[in-house]
Every structure is written in structure tokens, then in C-alpha cells.
Amino acid sequence: MNLPVYTLLVVLLQPLIIFFLFHCRKKIFFVPIEEGDPIPDPMKKSMLFFAFVISSFLGIAQTPDPVVDAIVKEATENSQLETLAHALLDGIGPRLVGTPQMQQAHDWALATYSGWGIAARNEKWGEWRGWERGISHIDMVRPRTKSLEGMQLAWSPGTGGKTITAEVIAIPDATDSIAFQKWLPSAKGKFIMTSMNQPTGRPDYNWEEFGTKESVEKMKTARTAQTEAWTDRIKKTGYTIKTLPGALEKAGAAGIVMSNWSKGFGVNKIFEAFTKKIPTVDISLEDYGLLYRLAESGSKPAISIRTDSKEMGMVPTFNTVAEIKGTEKPDEYVMLSAHFDSWDGGTGATDNGTGTLTMMEAMRILKKAYPHPKRTILVGHWGSEEQGLNGSRAFVEDHPEIVQHLQALFNQDNGTGRVINITGQGFLYAYEYIDRWLSKVPEAIRKPIETKFPGTPGGGGSDFASFVTAGAPAFSLSSLNWSYFNYTWHTNRDTYDKIVFDDVRNNAILTAILVYMASEDPVTTSREKSVLPINSKTGLPGTWPEQKKATRKGG
Ligand SMILES: [Zn+2]
């Protein structure tokens, strides 16, 4: 039923109910009232209230938009978020580009959409080095036995089915690159530690809560000095942090041992290895510190490592795209967007599992609550965002007809939190349509959202930028932090348990309503760009960020 019909019902039904209650008041309220008597005031009030309740109950008086209501109802009463999260994050796991798990995720998405009656396809956009992570077992075997918390980095070579045991030493503080070259042969047969030994495993917020002002300052000053000295130590080798592992490998090292602390309790960032034959492992701050101190004190600690991994040659890479065809303007598009790939230290639960879940759930809800959209609704689950927005850049290159007729795109990619920021991405009139669409969002979800117009156009960071740089109205639904940068972003702790499902549910409702409103809008959105402020670095007028090419062959 549409809005005018509802309004008509309200106008007709409410007086009828009141009239009915007035005439049947004796029977309903069991109060003897003589004909002609004035109705007592409390009675009048309760009757009016009763009439109001009945009409509200019929869903009349406060239903400004039945589609919005249906979206909220479906998201709240029939949420599939937990089920989807379990299948994707627990069942399939991390989704590093080029891995079999990434492919499984694409296939799972197709099957899931098909189960909801939504057409979906995997679009090939390039190829990548195929690799599959196996086990990482790391133990200290001298001076005592202890299992260590650590794992191989992405694309690390394995140990060929063997367990390798060797002494672990730190790179030396050589006076210069010549001295380092002289030292290099002593790396042979050893595991080499290439990271600084952090002076504290407590995050700064913990120091600031409990430390005295003096001890906090002392710790920070010492740490800064130590960090500078370590940077210098690397520099003096004549290599960079990217080229040093290769040099150690060439010198016959048994493996690279590092620790990329993420400045929270027990959390490390896990990126890619730079070795070609020997394993590179990341060890937790606590265990790395233990090995480092033992090495420094002359205890000659030894560890054994077994890592399995499989090289699989070049493999095709995809985006998953699903579609609900438009009825009136099928050649105009409203898009939902979130990258599908992840780093693989955890399961990519908040980067970008939650963005993925938001978009999938919003699509499912839209198919139920708004099955015949005016414009075509598309969702893009992008591949290889982590290596440079490659999936979405490729899509923009491959589908100029969609980019040209894009009404709006909504991307979410900064964690599990409820959305609190939307900017106009530099589009001069974005305020007009975004504000209008937002007005239909339930107050509890809308109110915390700060908007900034016209804002600055995003040149990178996540997939909306691939569209913004091409001049198409694409927006980022930006989330509340929830300790994203220290605790989950690209870390070994980015797992299911960090998801705040209520916030993700809010985001699915928000996205579905924005998509519905953008699709229904009688007006095509303006793409007029605002005049950008003077660039403070160059002193020249600001320029729109450039569209960058997708890397189609990587790894
Ligand atoms: Zn991300």
C-alpha cells in the first residue's frame, strides 16, 4: 500500500473509531452514563487514547513509508548476520587474494545470493600469485621448552615438510654497510630477528591510566630513543626493511623472525613476507621479547619452526557482483560496495567481514522489502582491495556504462562500528540528496551521523575512491572506531568475537534505506564538483584526485 492510501485511511478511520467508542461507551467501559450526560473528562481522555492506540496498532498513524518499515522489521526480526558471519569467517576464514579461501568465498557468495533469488556473478578482472597458508608451529627448545605464539607471514615459503631447529640471533648494530657485509656470513644457519624488542607490551592508554606522569614520560622518551636507534641499525646495514630479508636469505639464514606489534595487548599486524625460499614468521611481542633478552644475555636461545604453505602458480581473481534489476530506469544504478578480500593473520572479521555482511544483509532485505526497484541495484564484493583497490579499479575500467549512470554508491570499510560519518566527497550538491535520503532513516540510527559537505574527494583508502576519482558520486559510510586501528585492522586478532552485531545491523538498515531512497529519487544526482581549497603544501589550487589503474597481474 502506498502513502496516499494510508493517509486516507488515517483520515477516515480515526473519527469512525472515536464515533464508535462514543456510542458504545457503556458496553466498553462498563460505566453507567445517562444519555445526554456530558462525558466526564477522564473518560474522554481514555477514549481518545484508546482510539489512538487502535489506529497506531493498525499501522496507520505513524507509517510514513511502508518500505522503510519493512526494511527495519526484516533487519530486526529476521537478521541473518550471525549466520552469514559464521559461514564466512569461521567456515571459510581469511580471504587473501590468490588463495583457495578467496575463491571459496566468491563461490559461497554466489550460492548465498542464489538462495535469496538474487542474480549474481563472479567477474574475472585479473590474476594473482596463488598461495595457500598451512600450519605454523614455532617452539623455543633452548634454554627451556616453550611453545611460542606466532605465524608465518602471507606468501611465506614453507619449511618443506620439515621442522627446522636453529639458534636465534638479532641483526647486529654494525657501524656501516661494509661492516654489515662482513657480518653477513654469520647469519648462515640461524634464525635472524629483524624487529626492535619493544620495551613494553602495555599499550599507551594503559600506561596513561595507571602510570605516574614521570614514569609515562620516561617510558615514552626511552622508547622513542630506542626506536630511532633501531631504524638507524637497519639503515646502517645498507638495506631497507623490505630488502634486508632477501640479503639474509642469500647469506644462508634459516629464516626471518620478526614482531610487528600493533600497540595493543597481545596483538600483531600480519603482512607479507619478503623472502623467496626461507620462512618469515611473526612472533608475539611477549615471546619475541623473551627470545631477544635471552639472545642478548648470551643464553643462545634456539627455536624450531615448521611452516607449511603451497605455491599454486598464477590463479584468476574475481569480483562478486549481484543485482536486483530496475523496473523504470534499469540502466541507472545504485551500488552497495565493500571489499571481500582480507589479510590473513585473523579472519578479516572487521576488515572487511563486517562491511561484506552489511552489504549482503542489505541486499537480502532489499530483495524482500523492495523487490522491484526503480533503478538497478548492484552490489560489488571486491577482490584485492588490500593490494591497492584492484578489484574496484578494474570494475570502474571495465564498466564505464555503469560508472556513467551511477546514481550513488555506498561503501563501508572501517570496522564493525555503527556509521557516524558521511562526507560529500567533494560533490557540490551531495548535501541536497544525501540529507534528503537520510531523513527517512530511523532517528536512533540517523542522529549520531555527522555529515560534512561538500567534503574532500577521496583518492584512496577504500573502494569508494575508485569511483570518486572517476567523477561518480560514491560515498563512504564511516564507522565508529571500536579500537579498529590497534586491535583488528590487519591483525591476528581480527576475528568473529570482535563483531558488534547490533552496530552492523544498524548499518545494514542504514544502507538498505539509503539505497532504496537513491533508487526511488525522481531526480538524477548531480556530479558537479566543488572548487577544492588551495593545497597547503604546493600553494596551488586543489585538484580532483586522479583515477589509478588496477594491477591486473600481481603477487
Ligand atoms: Zn579494508
Digit-coded pLDDT (tens) for 367-414: 999 999 999 999 999 999 999 999 999 999 999 999 999 999 999 999
Distance between Cα 1 and ligand 1 center (Å) = 40
pLDDT at position 7 is 46
The backbone torsions φ and ψ at residue 425, rounded to the nearest 5 degrees and listed phi first, read 50, 30
pLDDT at position 64 is 82
Distance between Cα 461 and ligand 1 center (Å) = 8
Q: How confident is the model at residue 528 (pLDDT cuts 50, 70, 90)?
A: very high
Distance between Cα 51 and ligand 1 center (Å) = 51
Distance between Cα 357 and ligand 1 center (Å) = 13
Q: What is the pLDDT of residues 270-297, one digit of tens each?
A: 999 999 999 999 999 999 999 999 999 9
Distance between Cα 414 and ligand 1 center (Å) = 6
Distance between Cα 337 and ligand 1 center (Å) = 11
Cβ–Cβ < 8 Å for 259, 285: yes
Cβ–Cβ < 8 Å for 475, 423: yes
Give the number of other Cβ atoms within 10 Å of residue 228's Cβ.
Answer: 10
Rounded to 5°, the CA angle 531-537-540 comes to 40
Distance between Cα 190 and ligand 1 center (Å) = 36
Q: What is the pLDDT of residues 125-137, one digit of tens each?
A: 999 999 999 999 9
Distance between Cα 417 and ligand 1 center (Å) = 13
482 dihedral zone (left: phi>0; alpha: psi -120 to 50; beta) = left
Distance between Cα 386 and ligand 1 center (Å) = 7
Rounded to 5°, the CA angle 480-481-484 comes to 145
Distance between Cα 327 and ligand 1 center (Å) = 33
Largest Cα separation within the chain, whole Å, is 113
Distance between Cα 199 and ligand 1 center (Å) = 30
Distance between Cα 355 and ligand 1 center (Å) = 8
Distance between Cα 545 and ligand 1 center (Å) = 20
Distance between Cα 412 and ligand 1 center (Å) = 9
Distance between Cα 413 and ligand 1 center (Å) = 5
Q: What whole-number distance in Å separates Cα of residue 117 and Cα of residue 312?
A: 34
Distance between Cα 259 and ligand 1 center (Å) = 22
Distance between Cα 526 and ligand 1 center (Å) = 28
Q: What is the pLDDT of residues 220-237, one digit of tens each?
A: 999 999 999 999 999 999
pLDDT at 27 over 50: no
Q: What whole-number distance in Å separates Cα of residue 30 and Cα of residue 299?
A: 93
pLDDT at 514 over 90: yes
pLDDT at position 5 is 44
Distance between Cα 535 and ligand 1 center (Å) = 27
pLDDT at position 430 is 98
Distance between Cα 196 and ligand 1 center (Å) = 27
Distance between Cα 290 and ligand 1 center (Å) = 32
Q: 15-24, 168-177, 400-409: lowest mean pLDDT where? A: 15-24
pLDDT at position 14 is 53
Distance between Cα 245 and ligand 1 center (Å) = 27
What is the DSSP code string of 247-277? HHHHTT-SEEEE--B-SSTT-BB--B---SS
Distance between Cα 389 and ligand 1 center (Å) = 9
Distance between Cα 459 and ligand 1 center (Å) = 15
The backbone torsions φ and ψ at residue 147, rounded to the nearest 5 degrees and listed phi first, read -75, 135
Which amino acid would we find at residue 103? Answer: Q
Q: What is the mean pLDDT of the chain?
A: 92
Distance between Cα 133 and ligand 1 center (Å) = 20
Q: What whole-number distance in Å separates Cα of residue 447 and Cα of residue 245?
A: 50
Distance between Cα 548 and ligand 1 center (Å) = 18
Distance between Cα 339 and ligand 1 center (Å) = 7
Q: What is the pLDDT of residues 30-45, one digit of tens each?
A: 444 444 444 445 455 5
Q: Which residues partner with 151 through β-bridges?
A: 282
Q: How confident is the model at residue 29 (pLDDT cuts 50, 70, 90)?
A: very low
Mean pLDDT value across residues 336-355: 98
pLDDT at position 12 is 52
